Copies of this chain bind each other. A is one copy, B any other.
Amino acid sequence: MKTKLLITALFCLSGTVMADDILSSAPNGIMLPENYSDWQIISSSHREDNKTMRIILGNDVAITAVRLGKTNPWPDGTILGKLVWKDATLDKWKKATVPGKFVHAEFMKKNAKLYKDTGGWGFTRWLGMEQKPYGDSPAFVKECFDCHQPAKDNDYVFTHPVELP
């Protein structure tokens, strides 16, 4: 009886771990970075074509590269995060556009060898507040990489770090 309970408990535990893995791994095997909203700022943008506000953050490797001015190419270990919200209007200042409903978070993870077919970058996107991984198969990254071609001479990164004192 004890053995049966133990096996049942282990099975349940294993099932939980698997479910978490499925939820936090993109089709190309890249995991959702932990605590990314605690990262430091690189820039922001307002896309007036699709009415979204964006804040671009970086992990420690990325921020060190920014402070050193070594961002073309970005070093291996860099993760850039772009957080995207629908446009909203600031209630007390109508001529200010601010982030409204959360749309998605997307990340570029640099490893020149591992992701050599996509410019050295591993792309992921996580939809909505539930952070559902985007893409049906590992081939989804072609869409990301194709879109980033205009920024090829900036290591495929659209963002330029902001000017700071």
Contact = CB atoms under 8 A, between A and B. Distances in A.
Interface of A: 37-41, 43-49, 53-55, 57, 63, 83, 85, 90, 92-93, 95-102, 105, 126, 128-131, 150-151, 154, 158-160, 162-165
Copies of this polypeptide in the complex: 2
A104 to B, nearest CB: 9
A91 to B, nearest CB: 8
Contacts of A49: 95-96
Nearest to A49: B95
A127 B62 CA distance: 27
A85 B165 contact: no
Contact of A93 (B41, B158, B164): B158
A165 B53 contact: no
A128 to B, nearest CB: 8
